[in-house]
Amino acid sequence: MTTLLHAAHLHWRTPQAVRVADISLDVAAGEVIGIIGPNGAGKSSLLKLLAGLQLCDSGERELAGKPLATMAPLERARLLGYLEQRPVLHWPFTVQQVVALGRLPHGDADRASGVAAIAAALAQCDVLDYASRRFQQLSEGEKMRVNLARLLAGQPQVLLADEPTASLDPARQHEVMALLRLQAQAGRAVVVTLHDLTTAARYCDRLLLLQQGRVLASGAVAEVLTPALLRQAFQINASLDTSSATVIIHSPPMA
């Protein structure tokens, strides 16, 4: 499989803390990679580094075989889509207008290619019915679908989503993750940060478990979600039920 996103030995330190320390990651087309870890482990920081939104102190990043550092912002944006943790919208846009913003890197929202991409993204995320409604009037689940449609309208090869299932009910979480899985099946590379371990177990091909900005474990779901690693990272007694791909917490958090 083609490696679309390559990161090696990434370091990012702020005056307050080490945000990311020596993290390497390769993401291939067709893969869904989940980044998990406790609060403050550095999941969002790593995603920002991968998205090229943050300079790293050292390390190398490549997108579709080209160094990210030398890439023009618009060229990068055409290849990589990023969904931030709590997407904001400052003006009273309609759903259609929000999704059209996804074509900004291409500058063709009014031309045939852009119009077709926007229509396809609206249909794919099942938001066509309320395309003319105000974004602010939607429920949280609907808003997330619209944001995903905005992401897909740009037709990037790599999708990075920071906790796309946060504040969604289980059914909406499933919808969002199923949609991201579909993108991987269509040949895109997907990286998501997740808090819910069962969601991570069910929808990701590989996991990266972070703690204090470092990789505690990485690999297949069963290799990462072991009782020992879960105890070390989250201070919980938990295990993965492989038959149902569910992480079961056995006892209250450890002292």
By beta-carbon proximity to another protein, the closer residue of 55 and 228 is 55
By beta-carbon proximity to another protein, the closer residue of 90 and 250 is 90
Q: And the tokens for 192?
A: 């998501």
By beta-carbon proximity to another protein, the closer residue of 14 and 243 is 14
User: Which position among 76, 188, 202, 206 is part of the footprint of another protein (CB under 8 A)?
Assistant: 76
User: Which position among 11, 13, 78, 195 is part of the footprint of another protein (CB under 8 A)?
Assistant: 78
Q: Using an 8 Å Cβ cutoff, are 5 and 189 in contact? A: yes
For Cα atoms 72, 206, 41, give the angle at the middle one, nearest 5 degrees. Answer: 70
Nearest C-alpha neighbor of 117 from the set 146, 155, 79: 155
Burial 128-149 (b: 16+ CB within 10 A, else e): eebbeeebeebeebbbbbbbbb
By beta-carbon proximity to another protein, the closer residue of 73 and 227 is 73
Q: One symbol per residue from 123 to 162: x for binding another protein (CB under 8 A), - otherwise; what is it?
A: -------------------------------x--------
Amino acid at 91: W
Span of 14-22, 68-76, 193-201, 205-213 interacting with another protein by CB under 8 A: 68-76
User: From residue 177, how far is each of 124, 138, 157, 171, 217 by CA, in Å?
Assistant: 13, 19, 17, 10, 22
Which parts of this chain interact with another protein (CB under 8 A)? 48, 51, 53, 72-78, 80-84, 87-93, 97, 101-102, 104-105, 107, 154
